[in-house]
Amino acid sequence: MDALDTSSASALAPDVKEISGSSGSETLDRDVRTTPREMTLARFVNGVFQTNEQYALRQGYHDQMRESWRVCRSEYSPAEKRKLAMLGIPDDVSEPVVELRKNIALSQMKEILSTSGNLPVKFSSTSHPDVPSYVTEERLKQILDEMMQVIVATGQIPTPEMAAKFGRNRMAEILNAEREHANDEIALLERRVRDDFEEAEFIRDFNQGLEYLAIYGTAMWEGPVPCVRWKNDWKEDGKIRRVAKPGVAFRAINPLDVYPSPDQTGVEDGAICIKVRFAPHDLWLNATEVGGDDAETGVWFKDTVADLLAKYPTGGVRLSWQDGDEKNREMRGQSTWCADASCMMEGISYYGQVKGNLLLRMGIVKTHDKKTVDPEDFYEVNAIVIDDYCVYCRIINPCMGRPLSKAQFYENADNFFGNSIAQRLISYQRVMNGCLQSLIVNMNMTGAPMGWISDASRLLDKSPTRFQFLGGKIFAFKASTAGVALQSGPPMGVLRVDSRIPEILNVMNMAIKRIDDVSEIPSYTYGQNVTGGAGRTYSGLAMLTEASNRSTKMRIDHLSINCINRMAKMDAYRLMIYDDKIGYTGDVEVVPTGVMGLVLKQQEMQKVLQLMQMVANNQFLVQTVGARGLMELFRQVLETYDIANIDKIIPPKGSLDLQEYVSRLQSAANAQTAVNQAQQPQIPAQGGELPAPQNMGQEYAGGEQGGGEERAQTYQRGIETYAMPREPMPGSANERRSVA
């Protein structure tokens, strides 16, 4: 880039005060300012959207998803409805095999949240986490002090090899100290993440995405994204005021609103365009409350939003008029939505790369790390375009990535969209519907009489019910008509049709078996078609259900890893980057604790209980690990049971550390006192005999081993002679005999 291009890019970039402050010169009513900063990026986004939209229409993604939606609701197509009308069958008669299995799969996937709290993840540090240097230095200093104590006690100076071996043997203590410090800091971080998810009502949006996943086979979530949330704030005067506070939001995205790039398979592969809808007041709230040039929240162009709202005060901005889009609106019940009657403003949310010169024209001059935007470099951005004008732009921090998560019901590694239950069972659904229709027709033909009349002109009855075959009804005929005598043949008769009900039911049963195999959701998982054999026993049915739920567990595991864990880790990184109150800025590992995590939790719980029982039953191990080790094992047991307020049940870690430190000081003081007493000179007793020791065992105290009265008058220890007391020792056998 030459000097002329550099000066041109700098001249095109407006001042930051201009985009965040005053609205500039006066404009006419219902006119949007045509500054090149909004229109340049908007034209680029619209071009990408048109390319992606045409590709989605050619591939037929939306046609497949609309068909899945219709089948999951047990609705017939227009052609099928016309055929049913010709047979006299109402169009609300169908066999809901797909709808039933969709509901079962949805209920199983929702267990990922209902069985283990609001956020089914748990944070922990990695094997070698990044911690402040003082943690390692303190532990290293303690190890060096202990080595100096060994040197003082032995009086030998170790060789370099011995010192290195001593350090290697204690390296595990340093790593454990680093991980323990990281886990303590991550516990606080986990609470903040849980608070963000609870305030953003993550469960509601996640369950909405699960419904999309069960119907369309694909689900997407956007979040965590910065937003403004209204909260009730108590003031000192006792009044409640509604204040706007920054936070994060999550949003379930309908796959019909997603337009990926051609040949894109993941959310990070190419540019993604998502249809978004704003009410006018919500758009103004975002522009005024979230507005600014912060690296986390991005920039809302308040001037452009104000002019758009002046042009469309009650909404009415429509994005596309294509045939596929009209079918989507008709499916959602929005076929009457037009630009004049709409109260929404439709736009495009773009995730992809943008060249730096376009950002400079928008007034985005700094990146997330406060570096100047290079006009020739490419940056990952999120931009929102409404009515060919860009109203929002944010440079995405590469440390977090795009706040998008995607899941597929039946995974398709070569496609952005996955397969749904309806797409796998649509042919079997048609077989079941056809069998049901044939069953109704055959039952009607065999259950009610069908008659024939050779010459209807001979009927005397001219009423509308003349052709109804009813019990007790009498048909009257003329003697002859047009020369045809009544005796030439019967004027009427009854047709008999063979019943095909068993054959039709056999076909339906065969189709149900294939449906169980193809959908991987057998009927006995919800209490249907449990035949003899193992299915009649509790253990046998449990084994069959466990085997059938493996595919469901795989899908739940896929959801946990690719969606929930991704969003939780992304919010944790956001807090570590932008929140100064978070003291930990190291590696974080997110462990799932949903339905798959429950199995791992039960196994972990059994291991911890066995270990604690082994330690508690061994006094040597009890003295080795101490009170702090036992409390740590018990704390892990309580954590596996999801017990709240653990610090109120057992002493917290800090108090245990303090108690251990105090006990060490007391032990050191007692040891020093014993050394001082040992260094004091001994005063011999009168008669050249030393005073008797106080603790000499049962033999000295006159126990059973010593014989009591037969014990010696003196006690010899080495070269010293001790005088034995004349009176029996308290608690001895002699004392008990004297008392008796």
In a domain, 738, yes or no: no
Q: Which of 395, 399, 360, 363 is nearest to 379 (CA)?
A: 395
Instruction: Give tens-digit pLDDT for 516-530.
Output: 888 888 776 665 555
Which range marks the domain in which residue 357 is found? 33-68+259-418
Which of 284-288, 338-342, 425-429, 479-483 is most confident? 425-429
Q: Return the pLDDT at 727.
A: 56
When pLDDT is cut at 50, 70 and 90, the band that residue 496 belongs to is confident
Instruction: Give tens-digit pLDDT for 550-567.
Output: 677 777 777 888 888 889
CB 191 within 8 A of CB 579: no
Which of 170-179, 209-218, 359-368 is most confident? 209-218
Detail the DSSP E strand segments found in 335-453: 345-355, 378-386, 389-395, 404-408, 450-453
Residue 2: pLDDT over 60: no
When pLDDT is cut at 50, 70 and 90, the band that residue 117 belongs to is low
Structure tokens at 378: 């490419």
Residue 698: pLDDT over 80: no
In a domain, 554, yes or no: no
Burial readout 418-440 (b: 16 or more C-beta within 10 A, e: otherwise): bbbbbbbbbebbebbbbbbbbbb
Mean pLDDT of 175-194: 84
Give the Cα separation of 309 and 280 in Å (integer).
7
Q: What is the DSSP letter of 463?
A: S
In a domain, 558, yes or no: no
CB 572 within 8 A of CB 126: no
Instruction: Give tens-digit pLDDT for 140-161.
Output: 888 778 778 777 777 777 777 7
Give the Cα separation of 316 and 321 in Å (integer).
13
Q: Which comes out higher in pLDDT, residue 228 or 499? A: 499
Q: Which of 737, 686, 682, 668 is nearest to 707 (CA)?
A: 737
Domain boundary among 418, 438, 457: 418
Q: What is the DSSP letter of 685?
A: P
Q: Return the pLDDT at 213.
A: 93
* Model confidence pTM above 0.75: no
Structure tokens at 561: 């890893």
**How many other β-carbons are positioned within 10 Å of the β-carbon of residue 196?**
23
Q: Return the pLDDT at 503.
A: 92
Give the Cα separation of 348 and 272 in Å (integer).
10
Token look-up 């001219």 returns: 462
In a domain, 44, yes or no: yes
Q: Of the given ranges (214-223, 638-647, 678-687), which has the lowest mean pLDDT?
A: 678-687
Q: Which comes out higher in pLDDT, residue 661 or 107? A: 107
Residue 114: pLDDT over 70: no
State the total domains in the chain. 2
Phi-psi region of 723 (alpha: psi -120 to 50; beta: other; left: phi over 0): beta
Mean pLDDT of 645-654: 66
Q: Return the pLDDT at 507.
A: 92
Nearby residues of 687 by Cβ (< 8 Å), 6 or more positions away = 723
The verdict on whether omega for the bond into residue 725 sits within 30 degrees of 0, i.e. cis, is no
Which of 79-88, 199-208, 532-541 is most confident? 199-208
Q: Return the pLDDT at 218.
A: 92
Residue 4: pLDDT over 50: no
Q: Of the given ranges (310-319, 425-434, 445-454, 697-706), which has the lowest mean pLDDT?
A: 697-706
CB 300 within 8 A of CB 286: yes
Q: Return the pLDDT at 271.
A: 93
Q: Return the pLDDT at 547.
A: 55
In a domain, 610, yes or no: no
Domain boundary among 370, 386, 418: 418
Residue 136: pLDDT over 50: yes
Instruction: Give tens-digit pLDDT for 442-473.
Output: 888 887 777 777 777 777 888 877 777 766 67
Q: How much of the chain exceeds pLDDT 90, in percent?
A: 11
Query: Beta partners for 390?
Result: 385
In a domain, 41, yes or no: yes
Domain boundary among 351, 383, 418: 418
